[in-house]
């Protein structure tokens, strides 16, 4: 290379290098991310590692989250019951309801797999990354056997980064009547509306787990049907492979929000490994002109149940503003999701 060529090459690097460095410095990957994937799936990630995955393929009767990883990187939930094939509708973390009454003709079963009623994702609104939380907002429709949309459900899921590798999945549901209906009735039942099937080893019956509620009651018999602010399901989880395989203790604390119409909800819990805050345990709930907003939080934690930690988490969750989906004025965005203080908004 002659002297002139060497001079020109060095000059080019001198000009371009600052631009390249400033471009690298400008981009900093967010802590929490939402990554859409092929085959009707969406990945929710922390520090580049998957913490949960949303499945909405129409081949399933209803959408669900699986896995939901604990701090160790192993799922704290499972697909289906460990011993009962007629409970395959227990898909990790899912939305459903046993008795939806569109009219006086009869209820539609959206709970079991023995029905042609389906819950379908119609569209996504927004995927937002961030250091504190990543937010996914989607629209679902509840369709009966004839394909009539009985109810609409907006789902806002926020994956929140917590210290020591712990994480929380905040879930907000906004329910409205479908197909220009004046109202729809969610009938009295134990089954609905957000349910969690824990991993086999966490189950009190199949594994070494324990169920505890906010009132420090323990076990299915003491907790089933009783009102509580939260319920925790914790137990042993195997992590690693080969000689490095070991057992750690982790769990999920499931929080009800004080603004929910059923708060404090009565809980449907089982020693075989599932729990749910029963929206309609005591009475039916009407979804009418004013949207019905429901808020829940799943905290994936290390170690055994800690009441003080759960109480602090509940206090923080209770005070955190709810989400609202809006049309966006910003370029290249159709919708955005923002937190809005309900008291100030009303």
DSSP state letters, 208-242: S-EEEETT--BSHHHHTT-B-SEEEEEEEEEES-G
% of the chain at pLDDT higher than 90: 87
pTM of the model: 0.92
Strands 192-197 and 274-278: antiparallel
> How much is the pLDDT for 45?
98
> How much is the pLDDT for 69?
98
- For the chain, give the mean pLDDT: 93
> How much is the pLDDT for 24?
61
Q: Where are the domains of the chain?
A: 3-345
Residue the block writes with tokens 């914790």: 234
Residue the block writes with tokens 């609409």: 152
Which of residues 322 and 344 earns the better pLDDT score? 322
> How much is the pLDDT for 13?
46
- Cα 90 from chain centre: 15
> How much is the pLDDT for 153?
98
pLDDT tens, residue by residue, 186-219: 999 999 999 999 999 999 999 999 999 999 999 9
pLDDT tens, residue by residue, 135-191: 999 999 999 999 999 999 999 999 999 999 999 999 999 999 998 889 999 999 999
CA dihedral angle for residue 289, residue 103, residue 185, residue 187, rounded to 10 degrees = 180
Nearest to 184 by CA among 307, 127, 101, 107: 101
| Residue 243, SS3 per DSSP | helix
pLDDT tens, residue by residue, 68-110: 999 999 999 999 999 999 999 999 999 999 999 987 678 999 9
DSSP state letters, 102-147: SSTT--B--SSSSSS-EEEEEEEEEEE-BSSEEEEEEEEEEE-TT-
The answer to whether 148 touches 120, Cβ cutoff 8 Å, is no
The answer to whether 267 touches 213, Cβ cutoff 8 Å, is yes
CA dihedral over 268, 321, 136, 100, signed as positive or negative: positive
DSSP letter, residue 92: S
> How much is the pLDDT for 106?
86
pLDDT surpasses 60 at 344:
no
pLDDT surpasses 70 at 343:
no
Residues contacting residue 149 through CB under 8 Å, at least 6 positions apart: 141, 142, 143, 178, 179
| Residue 99 CB neighbour total at 10 angstroms | 19
Q: Which two tokens stand for residue 143?
A: 């369709």
Mean pLDDT over 223-230 rounds to: 98
Q: Which two tokens stand for residue 155?
A: 């789902």
| Residue 311, SS3 per DSSP | helix
| Residue 256, SS3 per DSSP | strand
Q: Is 51 exposed, middle or buried (0-12, 13-18, 19+ CB in 10 A)?
A: buried
pLDDT tens, residue by residue, 43-69: 999 999 999 999 999 999 999 999 999
DSSP H/E element including 16 = helix 3-26
- How would you label 6-19 residue by residue, b for 16+ Cβ within 10 Å and e otherwise? eeeeeeeeeeeeee
What is the distance between the alpha carbons of residues 173 and 291, in angstroms, rounded to a whole number?
10
What is the distance between the alpha carbons of residues 276 and 195, in angstroms, rounded to a whole number?
5
| CA distances in angstroms from 269 to 124, 149, 198, 224, 231, listed in the order given | 32, 30, 11, 5, 9
DSSP H/E element including 342 = helix 342-345
């Amino acid at each position: 290379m002659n002297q002139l060529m060497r001079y020109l090459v060095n000059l080019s690097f001198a000009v371009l290098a600052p631009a390249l460095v400033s471009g690298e410095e400008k981009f900093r990957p967010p802590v929490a991310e939402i990554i859409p994937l092929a085959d009707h799936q969406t990945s929710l990630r922390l520090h580049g590692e998957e913490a949960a995955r949303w499945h909405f393929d129409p081949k399933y009767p209803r959408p669900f989250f699986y896995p939901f990883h604990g701090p160790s990187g192993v799922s704290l939930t499972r697909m289906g019951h460990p011993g009962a094939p007629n409970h395959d509708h227990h898909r990790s973390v899912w939305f459903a309801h046993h008795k939806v009454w569109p009219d006086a003709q009869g209820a539609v079963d959206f709970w079991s797999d023995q029905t042609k009623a389906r819950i379908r994702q119609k569209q996504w609104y927004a995927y937002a990354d961030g250091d504190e939380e990543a937010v996914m907002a989607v629209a679902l429709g509840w369709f009966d056997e004839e394909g009539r949309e009985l109810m609409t459900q907006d789902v806002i899921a926020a994956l929140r980064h917590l210290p020591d590798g712990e994480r929380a999945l905040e879930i907000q549901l906004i329910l409205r009547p479908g197909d220009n209906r004046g109202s729809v009735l969610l009938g009295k039942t134990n089954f609905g509306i957000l349910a969690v099937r824990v991993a086999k080893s966490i189950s009190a019956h199949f594994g070494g787990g324990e169920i505890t509620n906010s009132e420090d009651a323990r076990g299915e018999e003491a907790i089933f049907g009783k009102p509580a602010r939260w319920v925790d399901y914790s137990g042993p989880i195997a992590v690693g492979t080969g000689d490095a395989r070991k057992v750690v203790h982790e769990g999920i604390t499931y929080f009800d929000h004080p603004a929910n119409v059923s708060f404090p909800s009565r809980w449907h819990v089982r020693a075989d490994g599932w729990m749910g805050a029963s929206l309609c345990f005591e009475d039916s709930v009407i979804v009418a002109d004013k949207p019905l907003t429901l808020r829940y939080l799943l905290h994936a934690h290390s170690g055994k149940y800690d009441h003080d930690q759960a109480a602090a988490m509940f206090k923080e969750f209770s005070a955190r503003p709810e989400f609202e989906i809006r049309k966006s004025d910003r370029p290249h965005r159709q919708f955005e999701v923002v937190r809005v203080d309900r008291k100030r908004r009303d």
